[in-house]
Structure 1
Amino acid sequence: MIKQYNKPYLFGITLVATLGGLLFGYDTAVISGAEKSIEAYLIRPLGLNSLIHGATVSSALIGCIIGGVLSGFFSNRLGRKKTLLFASVLFFLSALGSGYPETLFFTRGEPSIGLLLVFNLYRIIGGIGVGLASAVSPMYISEIAPADIRGRLVSFNQFAIILGMLVVYFVNWAIANGQSIEWINAIGWRYMFASEAIPAALFGILLLLVPETPRFLVLSDRNEQAMSVLNKIYSDKLKTQTIFSEIKQSVGQTTERAKLFSYGKIVIIIGILLSVFQQFVGINVALYYAPRIFESMGAAKDASMLQTIVMGFVNVVFTVVAILTVDKWGRKPLLITGSIGMAVGMFAISALAFNNIIGIGTLIFIIIYTASFMMSWGPICWVLISEIFPNRIRGQAVAVAVAFQWFANYLISSTYPAMMEFSSGMTYGFYGLMAVISALFVWKMVPETKGKSLEEMEKLWKKR
């Protein structure tokens, strides 16, 4: 039996692309260990309130929105590969700048509004990198991957996101372990942010070794290069020619990009709602504020960090479940199952909060909630966003969906402290309600994409 594709080559370039996901996870989760120190170092000395604290913790998300919006422009003009290279540079600059924001003033400096603004500026720069990588890394993988393993390969990107979060939980814990609160608030948080420079540099170097995607090359009228990449991916030359012909047919006679609504509004609306629901179920609240949530349950500082690491392991394990099942069970069953699990977890946490019950039960239901998300909406949302849009609008359509995702993320994360001050029970109940609505949305509106090529998905929207 002839091998359909060159697995070592395919998995190698996928691994490099998923480093964008790892940095996405690393950058968004590094704040979980540093946010209390930022509060102590920059927020409290200036007499600022919880809204400013929430906005500072979530400032990178402003950059994520910008990066999401710009991802379509950059991925269509520069290509998928060069856009990821640009993102790696932004990650590197943000890592060093967030750790040592005083360098912009060439002084050590005392806490001030100016220093707070510079810190937020560097976090926004990193956020732009996250926004670009979050859109383009899964897009890159989906445009490289064969249809029968595309779901699995794109899900590796979510695994990398969670792995990045788990790695930074360990890094934060290792930096803080055995140190005084005073040292962590003065120095430790700087090391937490600066540590990201190492994987950012590795990502940029390895990207120089991978090819551009064949679909972008065809869109750019570079057919010979596209064939060369396809020949490296597929072992069967007939298969290579068939896929190349399908790509050419979907692009059409012209290499110009189509307008956003060329295939109707429904596909764009589905992409946007997938993104919004992924955030409105409240997952990033659990990720960004994890140590503080565990401390509120009565855990000490070190214990809360360790419980966060435990939650990180749960995230990794259940993301692997999604990787192993997404191409067997399909996207819709996993999403609906995950929504039900998240609703159970959040409604239970809400009930415990209303009754002022804090203990191991809360931890168990947080794990049920996060496990349900990681086996479903975590990876599968990115899989669907990367594969439901037709070739000629994929860049701009993914950009719109991802921009909405980061806007929803910012809205949920920045309002969390104020919502918790009002009512913790109602806050978690709201996230549970969103999980129920997300299940109904998937059941009614989202098409199954398992086993379909990107070009076959395009035909589906043409029929509609």
Structure 2
Amino acid sequence: MKMKQSTRFIIFLSVVAALGGLLFGYDTAVISGAEQSLQVYFIDNLGLSTIFHGLTVSSALIGCVIGGLISGVLSNGIGRRNSLLVAAVLFFISAVLSGYPEFLFFTKGEPTIGLFIMFNIYRIIGGIGVGLASGLGPLYISETSPANIRGKLVTLNNLAIIFGMLAVYFVNWRIAAGQSLSWIHDIGWRYMFASEAIPAILFFGLLFLVPETPRYLISKNKDKEAMKILTKVNGSEKVAKEIYQEIKQTLDTPNSPKAGIFSYGKMVIIVGVLLAAAQQFVGINVILYYAPRIFANMGASADSSMLQTILIGVVNFIFVLIALILVEKWGRKPLLLLGSVGMAVGMFGVATLSFVDSMGLGALLFILVYVAFYNLSFGPLVWVLAAEIFPNKIRSQVMAITVVANWGSNLLISATFPSLLEISAGMAYSFYGVMCILSFIFVWKLVPETKGQTLEEIETHWKPKEVASNLSQRKIDL
């Protein structure tokens, strides 16, 4: 009975934290339905270049980088849960004001440079929320989950991201369905952004029902509170005490009270940063952000292009579910290697068809192959590994660096895609295909397997002798 209760409790904690992932997906994908309207409403009306269009589409990513930069300090200062509360507030503010950027200062229906700047500021505010949630959601789940199901539960966060994307694809389609282009370009895009306020309110309310993570509480010497949560999560006071001792010992190593981020060597940081960058350099957000435009270039109507975008969302969802099933059976590394190969086939297929000017059904199939293998591997598993591989004492700081690397790479790839597309679409897709091959080599050579290990056991991979010795020799009384 205790085990069933603890399982329900763990799932509840993970689902609430994963709502941050849902908002992450919703906020980053809402732009796909609105980007052509933004081009008409702002870029065309103001006579701006495609560079400004690319920056507008990716402006939220500037906020993501800022959110990543402050996530370590914020989560160490006020806690993982309270930092997610901050993210929920930012999501709400961004949703409302992106949908009505004229609030207080401007006249509706009269685009100006000032309004254009304010819209991008409101998108950046939402991006800060995404930057916080993208790292802290997996971190929260990882720090509250037992080792034997941690991979599945962190993958649940990515499932929520995909569900958020799928939800907003559907919302965008429903808003646009049966409406004229002029209505969509003037009014429809506002509803698309404003719709995010609903899940933001839900996320904010549910966060008050979950506790802080035990590892954070122990780091703040709130040991009794941490033990209560560990006992509830693990269904056994004996197991909770063992985990408590492991956590306490790792927080006390290395010997200095405040270890720097290089205390466990540089390799752990290099692996984390390269994983985060690889997730973006393989080109996924080029597909997600610009999907309706890509499909429109294939000859699809506005409604059809959004329906095809929903198809991408469905494939996303199905293959993240498959990853959730396989992650604790096959492990993280084999799935990443398989995914790299599949993504390369998809991207090079799209590139080849682009070079021969045959962007029809075949291109759609190659895009779906690419999306399927991405969501079987790099989509969910980069965040699983990022939440696992960093030692307790430096986890939040290095996680922040990883988040910045991820969103910085995202910003670079997304902002440059429109310009690359004007030069050569085939060349752009080929570049992402090459990145898939390089990602395979990187994972094969440098990424460790973490399946079935506690966070404290994974820590020994980076400083085996020193940390393992400390863990085995010291005992801490509760």
TM-score range, shorter chain: over 0.9
Which residue in 1 is equivalent to 2:463?
Answer: 462
Which residue in 1 is equivalent to 2:273?
Answer: 272
Which residue in 1 is equivalent to 2:374?
Answer: 373
The one-letter code sitting in structure 2 at the alignment partner of 1:382 is W
Where in structure 2 are the equivalents of 1:324-335 lying within 5 Å? 324-335=325-336
Which residue in 1 is equivalent to 2:93?
Answer: 93
Q: How far apart, in 2, do the equivalents of 1:31 and 1:255 lie?
A: 46
User: Does 2:363 align with 1:353?
Assistant: no
- Report the CA distance between 1:459 and its aligned residue: 1.4
Does the 8 A contact of 1:57 with 1:414 survive in 2?
A: yes
User: Does 2:112 align with 1:144?
Assistant: no
The one-letter code sitting in structure 2 at the alignment partner of 1:354 is F
Does the 8 A contact of 1:169 with 1:308 survive in 2?
A: yes
Do the aligned partners of residues 256 and 221 (structure 1) sit closer, same or farther apart at CA in structure 2, a change above 3 Å counting?
A: farther
Q: How far apart, in 1, do the equivalents of 2:240 and 2:231 lie?
A: 6
Secondary structure of the structure 2 residue equivalent to 1:209: coil
- Report the CA distance between 1:109 and its aligned residue: 5.7
Q: TM-score, normalised by structure 1?
A: 0.98
- 179-188 or 81-90: which moved more? 179-188
Where in structure 2 are the equivalents of 1:386-397 lying within 5 Å? 386-397=387-398
The one-letter code sitting in structure 2 at the alignment partner of 1:453 is T
Where in structure 2 are the equivalents of 1:19-418 lying within 5 Å? 19-105=19-105, 107-108=107-108, 110-252=110-252, 257-418=258-419
- Report the CA distance between 1:220 and its aligned residue: 0.7
- Report the CA distance between 1:3 and its aligned residue: 3.4
Does the 8 A contact of 1:219 with 1:255 survive in 2?
A: no
Q: Percent identity?
A: 58
- Report the CA distance between 1:256 and its aligned residue: 5.0
Secondary structure of the structure 2 residue equivalent to 1:6: helix
- Report the CA distance between 1:104 and its aligned residue: 3.9
Q: How far apart, in 2, do the equivalents of 1:137 and 1:13 lie?
A: 10
- Report the CA distance between 1:236 and its aligned residue: 1.7
The one-letter code sitting in structure 2 at the alignment partner of 1:454 is L
Cα-to-partner distance string for 1:412-435 (whole Å, 9 max, x where unaligned): 000000001000111000000000
- 102-111 or 352-361: which moved more? 102-111
- Report the CA distance between 1:272 and its aligned residue: 0.2
User: Does 2:426 align with 1:425?
Assistant: yes
Q: How far apart, in 1, do the equivalents of 2:297 and 2:27 lie?
A: 24
Cα-to-partner distance string for 1:72-106 (whole Å, 9 max, x where unaligned): 01011010000000000000000001011100405
Alignment gaps of 5+ in structure 1: none
Does the 8 A contact of 2:338 with 2:377 survive in 1?
A: yes
Secondary structure of the structure 1 residue equivalent to 2:148: helix
Does the 8 A contact of 1:219 with 1:256 survive in 2?
A: no
Alignment gaps of 5+ in structure 2: 466-478
Does the 8 A contact of 1:336 with 1:439 survive in 2?
A: yes
Do the aligned partners of residues 444 and 28 (structure 1) sit closer, same or farther apart at CA in structure 2, a change above 3 Å counting?
A: same
Does the 8 A contact of 1:4 with 1:234 survive in 2?
A: no
Does the 8 A contact of 1:5 with 1:236 survive in 2?
A: no
Does the 8 A contact of 1:18 with 1:160 survive in 2?
A: yes
Does the 8 A contact of 1:14 with 1:153 survive in 2?
A: yes
Cα-to-partner distance string for 1:370-409 (whole Å, 9 max, x where unaligned): 0000010000000000000000100000000110100000
Does the 8 A contact of 2:231 with 2:239 survive in 1?
A: no
Does the 8 A contact of 1:26 with 1:161 survive in 2?
A: yes
- 99-108 or 331-340: which moved more? 99-108
Q: How far apart, in 2, do the equivalents of 1:186 and 1:423 lie?
A: 31
The one-letter code sitting in structure 1 at the alignment partner of 2:367 is I
Q: How far apart, in 2, do the equivalents of 1:230 and 1:2 lie?
A: 13
Do the aligned partners of residues 255 and 98 (structure 1) sit closer, same or farther apart at CA in structure 2, a change above 3 Å counting?
A: farther
Does the 8 A contact of 2:109 with 2:186 survive in 1?
A: no
The one-letter code sitting in structure 2 at the alignment partner of 1:80 is R
Q: How far apart, in 1, do the equivalents of 2:153 and 2:8 lie?
A: 13
Cα-to-partner distance string for 1:224-281 (whole Å, 9 max, x where unaligned): 1100111211212211111111111111189954211110000000000000000000
Q: How far apart, in 1, do the equivalents of 2:150 and 2:191 lie?
A: 37
The one-letter code sitting in structure 1 at the alignment partner of 2:238 is L
Secondary structure of the structure 1 residue equivalent to 2:96: helix
Secondary structure of the structure 1 residue equivalent to 2:259: coil
Q: How far apart, in 1, do the equivalents of 2:126 and 2:144 lie?
A: 26
Do the aligned partners of residues 409 and 140 (structure 1) sit closer, same or farther apart at CA in structure 2, a change above 3 Å counting?
A: same
- Report the CA distance between 1:461 and its aligned residue: 1.0
Paired residue total: 464
The one-letter code sitting in structure 1 at the alignment partner of 2:49 is N
CA RMSD in angstroms comes to 1.4
Does the 8 A contact of 1:4 with 1:236 survive in 2?
A: no
Does the 8 A contact of 1:220 with 1:255 survive in 2?
A: no
Q: How far apart, in 1, do the equivalents of 2:109 and 2:258 lie?
A: 49
Does the 8 A contact of 1:257 with 1:393 survive in 2?
A: no
Secondary structure of the structure 2 residue equivalent to 1:389: coil
Q: How far apart, in 2, do the equivalents of 1:357 and 1:249 lie?
A: 60
The one-letter code sitting in structure 1 at the alignment partner of 2:331 is G
Q: How far apart, in 1, do the equivalents of 2:421 and 2:234 lie?
A: 53
Does the 8 A contact of 2:342 with 2:369 survive in 1?
A: yes
Does the 8 A contact of 2:106 with 2:115 survive in 1?
A: no
User: Does 2:454 align with 1:453?
Assistant: yes
- Report the CA distance between 1:208 and its aligned residue: 0.3
Does the 8 A contact of 1:25 with 1:163 survive in 2?
A: yes
Cα-to-partner distance string for 1:271-323 (whole Å, 9 max, x where unaligned): 00000000000000100001011111111111101011011100000000100
Do the aligned partners of residues 222 and 256 (structure 1) sit closer, same or farther apart at CA in structure 2, a change above 3 Å counting?
A: farther
Q: TM-score, normalised by structure 2?
A: 0.95
- Report the CA distance between 1:448 and its aligned residue: 0.4
